[in-house]
Amino acid sequence: MEPPNGLPQGLTEQQFAVISAKVRDAAAHLAGHAQIHGSRASGTATADSDLDIAILVPPQHFGEIWREKFGAPNPGSAKFRTMQHAYETGKIQCGEAGLRALRKELESDLGIAVDISIIEEGGPFDQGPYLPLIGHTTEGTADDQQRT
């Protein structure tokens, strides 16, 4: 089930266009495909629901980002366990992903909580339904399409 208008539930087309552009700009360095998922993509959101944004990346690229973001924590530490958990679940959370500034900006724009994660394609958290950002298809950005 998806929102009938193709927009994240509760967002206007203008809001979606604005946040789509901001996410594309701020997350371009991650070279992933940003999508809306969760309850606002499935049409099951309540007023309290956050807006979930997944930046989907292929497994090999996920591994590269994972190593870069977590570094080399001491084995046996909580950070090491958190790093393992991120690998097991195929999900790097917003803080570790370095996307806090984007999250705060989107929350300020929309007045709702926003969560942004880097998700490994095919991993446990790669679960639709998804809504692609405006100007962003599941095969890449509109610019990507024009280049090919």
- DSSP percent split of the chain into helix, strand, coil, nearest 5: 45, 20, 35
Q: How far is the CB of 78 from other proteins (least distance, A)?
A: 4
Count of beta carbons in the 10 Å neighbourhood of residue 47 = 6
Nearer to other proteins, 57 or 83 (CB): 83
Q: Which residues partner with 56 through β-bridges? A: 33, 119
- Closest C-alpha among 15, 51, 56, 14 to residue 140: 56
**Does residue number 75 form part of the binding site for other proteins (CB under 8 A)?**
no
The correct pick among 12, 59, 64, 85 for binding other proteins (CB under 8 A) is 85
Nearer to other proteins, 4 or 71 (CB): 71
Nearer to other proteins, 115 or 141 (CB): 115
The correct pick among 64, 81, 139, 144 for binding other proteins (CB under 8 A) is 81
